[in-house]
Structure 1
Amino acid sequence: MKPWTLLLLLLLIATGLCLAGVAVGSTGFSFNILAAQDAMQEQILWQIRFPRSVGSLLAGALLGLGGAIAQGLFRNPLADPYLLGASAGASLGVAVLLVAIGVSPAAVALMLRIGLTGTAFIGALAGVSLTLLLAHGVEQSIRLLLAGVIVGVVLFALTSLLTLMTPDIMRPMQAFMLGTSGFLSWASVWVLAPALLLCLLGAVGASRALDALTLGEATARSLGVRLSLVRLFLIAVLALATGAAVAQAGLIAFVGLVAPHLVRSRVLCTHGWLLMLSALTGGCLLLSADIVARWVIAPQELPVGVVTSLLGGAYLLVLMHRGPLSEKRA
């Protein structure tokens, strides 16, 4: 399949999923609402379902893009957007603010000013910064990976400790940790859309450096790639993409890991195409999971992170058992 063919196909799928996302509600699918004239139905359509669907598409696109960046940057097909401690930092930031709200009036004012999403974003950037500090910069990929694992383990342990010490925050923390698209709104869309545009432009601009990195660091240097500068720039883009998605939708597993694999299984392309196609694929995956989460046990909802974990885990299990075939197609 040609890259542009897959691009058009994904755009059609995304459009269809947006329509399906708008049509699904507490009673299942109802496409009559798309032509609703009632004021209440219009409000449900334009103020709840439509921004939620668009927000899920954008958040998934940021995670898919982050996964493609991480896998190209570290030359590791198992790398995902959470590799450098962004998810752990976001979780700790949310937990700290929730604990502080109960003991400090100043924390309440902070909550009203920047909200949990702002705190999660700051925590995600802090987690990545801590990883860079422990790795002593971006010179060595192995040190970055190890530092990211250490930061993730330690910060998640601190988050669990705070949750156990303050049982009152367990419910909101559970919603954040499992991932949810239920709080996505037009405000979320206005945050996610510029973040996606900025990250996509930055990543595609550095795609030639990622292509060179696939040949090895020594070859990349011989081709004139300034590895330290490129790594630092791409890590900043990765942190922004991951932080924005996690802040708005919580911790959603497997989307960033699976999206680039799905693209590689369909087309052979350079990183310029891979980044764009992975973003679209990630958006379609998360929006599909959101539709399933709302429909499968309606009128109740499953956490969307649970759905992505089940589907992503099943896909990787199949991919693992296919063995050499999956490697050839990748």
Structure 2
Amino acid sequence: MRRLGVGFVVVLVVVAGCSGFTDPPSRSAGTAVDGQPAVDVPQPAVTVTVTAVVDGDTVQVAYGNGTADTVRLVGVDTPEVQAENDPAEFEGVPETAAGVSCLRGAGTNASSLAKQRLLGETVGLAFDPELNRRGYYDRLLAYVVLEGSLFNYRLVETGHARVYDSGFERAERFYAAEDRARTERRGLWRCVDPGELTRTAIADGGTITGSASDVAITDIHADAAGNDNQNLNDEYVTLTNTGETALDLSGWTVSDEAGHQYTFTDLSIGPNASVTLYTGRGTDTDTERYWDRDGAVWNNDGDTVVVRTPSGETALRQSY
């Protein structure tokens, strides 16, 4: 449910220790907004281990005594991956087949991020004083605190989720993050302009034509097993030719938000064929290419893969 109006001035009093169990001081995290923390991080009431990721906003956890529970993340709603999405729920996303398809991909990205960041991790759960502990389907409603940051907020900030306003205490801060993500077309908000994702050169307003429009990013594996910097070939990106003719990728580049860039040489992939770009070292083949880097490239907590043609036109820009 979106805010009912924009004419109200809302004064948000952040209550420390929203778990309801204790009342310690909150920690601040995120980018400062008007001299205030972007969002405060509540003190966890309980520590659990994430045993499964249902989708971007729902996880299964185990307590220290071995009992299990399902947690629905407070204040966020990621696109569905196991059901059809309704674009009307995501402000500005067109109610078209392209909008639905784009949201499905965004849901997959959100689930992948949750798996990369949470699966197998020990996290804290905190509760909102404005909400019941349990919601629909008897799921536990909670904030997930990971390494001192609020994962719920991170999903909204990076555009992996919209705000689901259930009357929770931090709603206004979450909405501010959502507005920034939408304005900057992060994550799912790229779906506001779904036709531009693969066919419009975002960098200079040109148009990708012919076989160049048939390239797709079909896999992003950012979180290598163990230490990313010591397992570089478990960090990779896969491109696929979805067209009906061969695609020459010679001179094409792959880069991240920080400007690290790889250039393909002497490579053509056939219809429905793929090439995987590994961060580490190895022997180049028609289906495997190696960046030959000494350290990891892709951020585990979110990044953007940018694919450009030899002329510098942006063919793809996909955030996760």
TM range (shorter): under 0.3
Higher relative contact order (CA 8 A, sep 6+): 1
TM-score, normalised via structure 1 length: 0.24
